[in-house]
Structure 1
Amino acid sequence: MALKHEPTAPYHSAQDALRVLETVARHSSGVTDTLLARETGIGMERLTALLRMLRREGYVEQVTDGAYVTGHALARLGSAQDREQALREKLQHTLDRLRDSVGAAVYISRYVDGEVKVTQYADSPTTPAVNEWVDFRYSAHATAIGKTLLGQLDHNSRRDHLARHKMARLTSRTITSDRLLLSCLESQPPTVPVLDLQEYAVGTVCAAVPITAGSSVGCLAVSLPLEHAHRLRQAADALNRNAAPVLLSLAI
């Protein structure tokens, strides 16, 4: 499967954050922000924002003299023994926080072995998850998640997916023409959230943004009931701004 990547802002943030973490790890007794800026080449303003995020996520800690050392979350993710469990817990914690700050159900999805898979999500009684009335694996053409994942593949991989999954009409707004869908995917800028405005389910709107770590294709998504559709763009932008910690967890 070939990928069609154009790195997004969260990707660049995650790459910079990894550089900071590698530098902190090299200085086992602690390193100041001034030295970090010099060794990473990252400007102080950007570095301050990255350190704030890394502290919040538990990847770095500040010791009494103000220097930075590696944090407990990094130690857990770095340990081979329970990495998978640690990663699930870390991502769930990030999703729960995103759900509360965005005020919507939040999902992580990945494209695995030619199929769309929602791997984790965070919802609540006030921010309910989408009712999966048609299996997400067979409705990629109609969901923000599916379209975002397909959008990160190359043309042949998209055609292969659509050849294996008939494009059923789920609502009056569903795109059922593969030519039209392929054209929409081709013209979708990678930095702009993909929207689903009642294409999968009447009464529900969704938005998704790509999160691509290495050769793995993934996305973050939100769903809202139709009466909150006016908040969708704002929720998608917040999701995009907060995608870096998710990418970072996947990359460590």
Structure 2
Amino acid sequence: MMTASHDHTLIASVQRAVQLVDIVANAARPTPVKVLAQASGLSLGTTYNIVRTLVHEGYLSREPDGLVLGDHFPSLRSRDDEGVVLARVRGTLRRVTTELGATAYFSRFSEGEVNVIDIVDAPRNPRVELWVGIDHSAHATALGKQILTELDADGRLDYLSRHPLAQLTRHTISDLPTLLNQLERRPSSAIDTEEYAIGCTCIAVPVRAPGVVASLAVSLASDLKPVDTEPLVRRLQTFAGKLSLQLGAERFGQFTI
């Protein structure tokens, strides 16, 4: 139990700052200041003042859709915390979107499921409307296929046995042997052309780090020519390599650029 003397030594403003950082660190999505104020019970004015200081000191970072952890804070927590992953991923997705002019996606395999962790929209090529959840469409999306490629044969079959190959468009591969053959032929990148949504092509590459099975992807209009996909894949692989390092691959010598 905390004694009265100990209580007198606590600094309220520091407690509030730590509380705000902890909320952001455990959030799966960027957190707007208003949401942060509601979650913490602090007034909006107080929250804004504390956030301004935390951003200045590098413990939080502003994104267009809210706050994520800043450069200084991730080193203090487990690399696998949702907030840490989001903080490391968001900057790379933003750079992909800026350079390639395409909406960027980061997906991860966790607890037996494929999950979309973050998306950054490109104004001229907005995100594909996710009308079917990724848990029912990994076989029809490049970002899902790339993750399936990274699993071993048993893991791949286990996942596909639990998720029927729904025919989402006339281009969707819903035949298991055909899908498995395609996955084995393209280990370093994946593509779907109108398999998830008519008018859209998605390209994905792997992101590899200890304990991480993930993919980095972009979506573009389906009039993209095959010859144009090769330079896109190379650029995505460069971004994915840097992201792999950020997520911990350098500690084990698993990835070099």
**TM-score where L is the length of structure 1:** 0.65
CA contact (8 A) 1:222 1:235 kept: no
Question: Which of 110, 117, 139 is the equivalent residue of 1:119?
Answer: 117
Give the counterpart letter for 2:215 in structure 1.
C
Work out the CA distance in 2 between the residues paired with 1:220 and 1:81: 22
CA contact (8 A) 1:140 1:146 kept: yes
Superposition deviation, residue 207 in structure 1 = 0.5
Give the counterpart letter for 2:192 in structure 1.
D
Q: Deviations over 1:104-129 (max 9, x none)?
A: 01111001111110101111321201
Structure 2 counterparts to residues 73-88 of structure 1, below 5 A: 73=71, 75-80=72-77, 85-88=83-86
Q: Secondary structure at the match of 1:227?
A: coil
Question: Which of 137, 140, 158 is the equivalent residue of 2:138?
Answer: 140
- Worse-matched range after superposition: 239-248 or 81-90: 81-90
Q: Percent identity?
A: 37
Q: Secondary structure at the match of 2:247?
A: helix
CA RMSD of aligned residues (A): 2.3
1:249 and 2:246 aligned: yes
Work out the CA distance in 1 between the residues paired with 2:174 and 2:130: 19
Shift >6 Å, 4+ stretches: none
Q: Secondary structure at the match of 1:149?
A: helix
Superposition deviation, residue 212 in structure 1 = 1.4
Q: Deviations over 1:191-220 (max 9, x none)?
A: 3x2110111111000110011111321010
TM-aligned CA distance change 1:243 to 1:169, over 3 Å: same
Structure 2 counterparts to residues 81-100 of structure 1, below 5 A: 85-100=83-98
Superposition deviation, residue 228 in structure 1 = 4.0
Match of 1:200 in 2: 196
Match of 2:233 in 1: 236
Q: Deviations over 1:53-108 (max 9, x none)?
A: xxxxx9xxxxxxxxxxxxx93x4321129975354233212211111101101111
Work out the CA distance in 2 between the residues paired with 1:103 and 1:126: 7
TM-aligned CA distance change 1:124 to 1:186, over 3 Å: closer
CA contact (8 A) 2:78 2:84 kept: no
Unaligned runs of 5+ in 2: 1-57, 59-69, 252-257
**TM-score where L is the length of structure 2:** 0.64
Larger C-alpha radius of gyration, 1 or 2?
A: 2
Work out the CA distance in 1 between the residues paired with 2:225 and 2:137: 21
Work out the CA distance in 1 between the residues paired with 2:225 and 2:126: 14
Higher relative contact order (Cα pairs below 8 Å, separated by 6+ residues): 1
Match of 2:212 in 1: 216
Structure 2 counterparts to residues 53-64 of structure 1, below 5 A: none
